[in-house]
Amino acid sequence: MVDLTGSSSPFQQSIPNFAFYLPAVIVFGLAALFGYKLYKSLMEKELKKQEKVKNKHTKKSKKNN
């Protein structure tokens, strides 16, 4: 619990720790999701590029035969 008042105050006010943990979990979860999506997108792009080069070489070799 986070105390918002001093010890001399007659009224005690506090915020439960859950109020801080939940937004932190959400932010880190979203960052992980976007990071995964970015990684997946870059890997797909790289695979397509490699496939394109491979197809280009096979067409070139077929043309020479």
More confident residue, 10 or 56: 56
Between these two residues, 51 and 5, which has the higher pLDDT value?
Answer: 51
More confident residue, 44 or 13: 44
Judged against a pLDDT cut of 80, whether residue 16 lies above it is answered with yes
* Spatial separation of the C-alpha atoms in residues 18 and 35, rounded to whole Å: 25
> Residue 15: is its pLDDT beyond 90?
no
The tally of domains found in the chain comes to 1
pLDDT value for 6: 67
Which of the two residues, 9 and 16, has the higher pLDDT score?
16
If you search the block for the tokens 């790289």, which residue do you land on?
A: 46
Domain with 6 in it: 2-64
The Cα–Cα gap between 65 and 56 comes to 15
